Amino acid sequence: AYQRHEEELSRTDGDYSSVQSFSDCKDLSSRLSATFAGAARSKHRLHILEIVKNGIAFAFEDAPKKLSFLEGSVLQFVPKLPVSDIMD
């Protein structure tokens, strides 16, 4: 989904948040992060942390071009982490 967003964004001159593909990324990320609700949050804490850390690393590989990945994909997973993990 994010690759489609990058391709669509390269063809436009507008704000990335107004592009439909960005909305699609956020929607997919939201649905995927929802699978880590309730008891699954504790059980899969390390997996969620890995998703967030790898997402941040990916976004900064080609900053500022890929920084929208943080908002479009990673941000949905952060609230699923305990505060102590977020602070690290």
- Collapsing DSSP to helix, strand or coil, 29 comes out as helix
- How do residues 30-72 score in pLDDT, each as one tens digit? 999 999 988 889 999 999 999 999 999 999 998 888 888 999 9
Question: Does the global pTM surpass 0.85?
Answer: no
Please count the helices (runs of H) and the strands (runs of E) in the chain. 6, 0
